[in-house]
Amino acid sequence: MQQIVHDPDRMRALVVEARAAGRRVGFVPTMGALHAGHVSLVTRAARDCDDVAVSIFVNPTQFGPQEDFARYPRTLAADTAQLAPHGVKWIYAPEVSAVYLPGDATRIVVGGPAVRFEGERRPGHFDGVATVVCKLFQAVPADAAYFGAKDWQQTLVVRRMVYDLGLPIEIVVCPTVREADGLAMSSRNAYLSAADRPRAAAISESLRQAEQLWAAGAAAAAIEETMRKTMEAHGIVVDYAALADPESLEPLTADASRAVALVAGRLGSTRLIDNRELRGRGTSEPRSTPDQGLAR
């Protein structure tokens, strides 16, 4: 039976108590509007851990002033029902005022992997992400936290923060769950109009092309151009379509054997992101998840 907890101190006490009793606790932070991608993280956490906590919190500080904070879907009852069969012990759903206290004046500022791509287009976004993740880890001091590779840059930022601040939590990155046509599952897919929904498949299609071209030895600039054209041909307004180092997100060196392809684009008023790790050229190097060499 899952318990909904709103109070951070209460939440923390429950996790501390479980761990003191020798139980391994897994934590899945989310903003709700849950889908099969989120559930895959929960399933993985339930496999690895004795108890699982899921947070549902739409974090205001990671949204820009012109972004969709107000209209972001809030579906706590449906989310709770969706989690019921998956062995979640606690749903942590704090009020904004319990996370950002009156007079709140503290932020975590992240550089490094936070600087390019989403960091450039969404100023302050990753500072908001790092700040809330750190606060969530205070309320849910779990053994391990589970994040989706869907938000590749976010996983790098979180790992960097955890390493730099010495936070005692393991970060586990799980593969992206996709719809049948390849579209990465996202709470924001619900915004897509019926006409735009099929066009959105061009995002993952462009990443599939990137993978093939990379394996065949094509130049990075040519791959980026192909990705952009594929998306534009389907009416997507491309924010970026780029290859980068999969751990630093710096531009690729000429002899790079590993890369990540990152894309962001808009369909109507919906902004979608996706990525794919590219295997070593001409080799069958296995895909990994981003770890930045920061494992403690």
Q: Which residues bind ligand AMP (CB under 6 A)?
A: 30-31, 37-38, 40-41, 147-148, 150-151, 174, 176-177, 184-187
Residue with Cβ nearer ligand AMP (80 or 176) = 176
Residue with Cβ nearer ligand AMP (37 or 290) = 37
Joined tokens for residue 12: 């923390």
Catalytic: which of 38, 86, 125, 234?
38
Residue with Cβ nearer ligand AMP (128 or 223) = 128
SS3 category, 12:
helix
Residue with Cβ nearer ligand AMP (283 or 288) = 288
Helix and strand numbers (H, E) in the chain are 10, 9
* Catalytic annotation present for 38: yes
Query: 3-class secondary structure for 48-88?
Result: HCCEEEEEECCCHHHCCCCCCCCCCCCCHHHHHHHHHHHCC
**Please, what's the b/e burial string for 27-51 (b: 16 or more CB within 10 A of its CB; e: otherwise)?**
bbbbbbbbbebbbbbbbbbbeebbb
Give the whole-angstrom CA distance, residue 45 versus residue 88.
9
The one-letter amino acid code at 251 reads: P
SS3 category, 264:
strand
Shortest separation between residue 102's beta carbon and ligand AMP, angstroms? 25
Q: Which residues belong to the active site?
A: 38
